[in-house]
Structure 1
Amino acid sequence: MVTMNLGMLHYVLDHVYGAFVHRTKISPPFFSKGWGGSKLDLLERLIKQLFPEFEGQNWPPTLIQPVWRTIWETKTACLKEGVFRTPCDEQLLSALPPESHIARVAFLMPKFVSPQKMACVVHLAGTGDHSFERRLRLGGPLLKENISTMVLESPFYGQRRPMLQYGAKLLCVSDLLLLGRATIEETRSLLHWLDSQQGFGKLGVCGLSMGGVHAAMVGSLHPTPVATFPFLSPHSAVVAFCEGILQYGTAWEALKRDLAMEQSELTLEEVRERMRTVLSLTDVTRFPIPKNPQAVILVAATDDGYIPKHSVLELQKAWPGSEVRWVTGGHVSSFLLHNGEFRKAIVDGLNRLPWKESPL
């Protein structure tokens, strides 16, 4: 009974937090400017190109050359920040807001260790994670395991946020797809840079919530095995916006009005069905199985108000050999309290990869 009450408390905490963030008028809801018009049509075509029949396309990606500056260094570690022009093609670039054209990364690594004897994990942003700090705190203790951390600032977030966007509340549905596709392209280029230019012995990609969906997509599409860590993540954005708490922070009436300009007498259920259809493009179970599914470790919460259990299990089922680890808590409390479990998953997943052979 005590366990049940604690579980309910975590679940209620998610809803209390969600009510404050998503049901008050402190900030506008998601997608207050509608679907995105012609941009949505473009993004639907481009996202479909990521599905299995297009596996391996555009590889190797554009070789990036980040420009670095040192933030701090100690006797044993160094933190740098770098910028590079997003490697997205002209179609994606024209759809991205100008503020998102330059990507920013933080790079934390131990000193005096050969990259060939190190691993590096790229950490992707969850919804509302505009800065490097939280992900650097997650990765920092891994330095003693010779695991470096690279943190990508997402398009539409942080210094890449469009001027008219309030916080993490994307203006259009097309922005969500654009954020995801651009993040995938940038992360693939970062992994290619870490491999071909820096020579790291092992690579991984992780993310929490939305970042976990993007991490799963990147891990799926990578042509060689990378350790993949979706934390507190659904198998699709459909779950987050149509089943979980984020549905209460979505501008359904604005989306209805936007569609009503094309079709008369739309019901709210038809609008929701349109959202399910569009966001089905983010269904990771439709993506290829990663090259080494044993190096995929999902960490999920037992009482998550944002991500239902069935969604986590759908991804595990689609990727035989992957592992799910459950932590006791909700979305918010697990985000705050279970970094130790996230770090252990990263170490264990990387240990399931062989070291890259050094060139002769």
Structure 2
Amino acid sequence: MVTVNIGMLHYVLDHVYGAFVHRTKLSPPFFSRGWGGTKLDLLEKMIKQLFPEQNWPPTLVQPVWKTVWESQTATLREGFFKTPCDHQLLTALPPESHIARVAFLTPKYTPSHKTACVVHLAGTGDHTFERRLRLGGPLLKENIATMVLESPFYGKRRPLLQRGSKLLCVSDLLLLGRATIEEARCLLHWLDCEAGFGKMGICGLSMGGVHAAMVGSLHPTPIATLPFLSPHSAVVAFCEGILKHATAWEALRDDLSMHEASMTLDEVKERMRNVLSLTDVTRFPIPKDPSAVIFVAATDDGYIPRHSVLELEKAWPGSEVRWVRGGHVSSFLLHNGSFRRAIVDSLNRLKWKESPL
């Protein structure tokens, strides 16, 4: 009788998928054009500007909306607005990324002050609204609206020379994150001050979960914060997990060698660790209500090692980690119910905002 280790099968599936997507020549590797030069220098200097609370409130964006469809119970709108990033970041972003796009799925007749809304951020390779709308759609019956942000460098915001989700430079990864955080914070401010929602939350899967954790950390009031299948830092994804096989290490070494002495690949990887340490969520402030933070992690994740999730839980006492059986890919496909349950439970741990007179 042959005993099948289901956990190992999930782990192997991650590696098979990763080999097909990242080790074939179907698309170039990540960072094939190097580090990003002066853009990377700028981002390394600016990263600490995320922390001071005087950065709140952010710019109040005013999305321009159009109705895509409406039913007896729900309305789907799409909107756009100019990214609120400051001049330095706007100059660093590709022109295609200057206009942010959002989809907004709301229950039709429930007043906003009796409705919660969760902003869903994109994981690596999630270029459209559809997957996140499918995740949020069933939550309408719980009076939970869904707002989906299209990331810079993705979808209609993708630079002309970029193929798929394979960012051209390391600086693009930090730019994507910084702009996503700015835009998500502005959308939460709009949901609170303009739309008047009674509760709010932020969630994301994988890379989107890292960004969601950062946004939840920086928000001045308690919000539901839901990182799904997420590491504590991009270091884990690109230097330890499967994406290390999708990184153009030789191109990064050649780029560095143009400005410094010849370097070994190990030295290049150490440089990458130093740069991506800027994305370490454990260095961010503890959210205002850690009990409303629920991490959902996979038991056999080939992209995100277990220790990374435990570092998040340790850094934010009072938060909760929930484990689903599977790998990164299989959990992404099979555990939407667990993600939705976490969203509902996290929002239930928050108080309703006082209703308008």
Considering the TM-score relative to the shorter chain, is it more than 0.5?
Answer: yes
Structure 1 residue 48, shift from structure 2 partner: 2.3
TM-score, normalising length: structure 2: 0.99
**Separation in 1, partners of 2:260, 2:58:** 40
Letter in 2 for 1:25: K
Q: Secondary structure at the match of 1:121?
A: strand
**Separation in 1, partners of 2:356, 2:148:** 28
Structure 1 position 323 matched with structure 2 position 320:
yes
Letter in 2 for 1:86: T
Identify if the C-alpha distance between structure 1 residues 3 and 68 changes in structure 2 by more than 3 Å, giving closer, same or farther. Answer: farther
The equivalent of 2:330 in structure 1 is 333
Which runs of 5 or more structure 2 residues have no equivalent in the other structure?
none
Select 1:275's aligned residue among 261, 272, 275.
272
Q: Secondary structure at the match of 2:54?
A: coil
Identify if the C-alpha distance between structure 1 residues 140 and 295 changes in structure 2 by more than 3 Å, giving closer, same or farther. Answer: same
**Separation in 1, partners of 2:52, 2:144:** 29
Aligned length: 357
TM-score, normalising length: structure 1: 0.98
Structure 1 residue 264, shift from structure 2 partner: 1.6
The equivalent of 1:255 in structure 2 is 252
The equivalent of 1:20 in structure 2 is 20
Structure 1 position 212 matched with structure 2 position 209:
yes
The equivalent of 1:38 in structure 2 is 38
Deviations 1:283-311 (A, max 9, x none): 00000000000000000000000000000
Identify if the C-alpha distance between structure 1 residues 72 and 178 changes in structure 2 by more than 3 Å, giving closer, same or farther. Answer: same
The equivalent of 1:6 in structure 2 is 6
Structure 1 residue 4, shift from structure 2 partner: 6.5
The equivalent of 1:91 in structure 2 is 88
List aligned pairs for 1:187-198, cutoff 5 A. 187-198=184-195
CA contact (8 A) 1:215 1:228 kept: yes
Structure 1 residue 3, shift from structure 2 partner: 8.6
**Separation in 2, partners of 1:2, 1:266:** 48
Structure 1 residue 265, shift from structure 2 partner: 2.1
The equivalent of 1:49 in structure 2 is 49
Deviations 1:176-222 (A, max 9, x none): 00000000000000000000001100000000000000000000000
**Separation in 2, partners of 1:4, 1:264:** 50
Structure 1 position 142 matched with structure 2 position 139:
yes
Select 2:344's aligned residue among 344, 347, 350.
347
Structure 1 residue 263, shift from structure 2 partner: 1.4
Deviations 1:126-172 (A, max 9, x none): 00000000000000000000000000000000000000000000000
CA contact (8 A) 1:128 1:167 kept: yes
**Separation in 1, partners of 2:171, 2:3:** 41
Question: Which runs of structure 1 show a deviation greater than 2 angstroms over 4 or more consecutive aligned residues?
Answer: 1-4
The equivalent of 1:176 in structure 2 is 173
**Separation in 2, partners of 1:255, 1:66:** 38
Which runs of 5 or more structure 1 residues have no equivalent in the other structure?
none
The equivalent of 1:232 in structure 2 is 229
**Separation in 2, partners of 1:282, 1:328:** 27
**Separation in 1, partners of 2:105, 2:175:** 27
Identify if the C-alpha distance between structure 1 residues 261 and 228 changes in structure 2 by more than 3 Å, giving closer, same or farther. Answer: same
Q: Secondary structure at the match of 1:108?
A: strand
**Separation in 1, partners of 2:205, 2:330:** 13
Deviations 1:30-62 (A, max 9, x none): 000000000000011111222xxx331321100
CA contact (8 A) 1:118 1:148 kept: yes
Across the aligned residues of Structure 1 and Structure 2, the Cα RMSD in angstroms comes to 1.1
List aligned pairs for 1:95-174, cutoff 5 A. 95-174=92-171
Structure 1 residue 2, shift from structure 2 partner: 8.6
**Separation in 2, partners of 1:83, 1:214:** 20
Letter in 2 for 1:8: M
Letter in 2 for 1:87: P
**Separation in 2, partners of 1:4, 1:263:** 51
**Separation in 2, partners of 1:230, 1:56:** 22
**Separation in 1, partners of 2:118, 2:2:** 38
**Separation in 2, partners of 1:104, 1:279:** 27
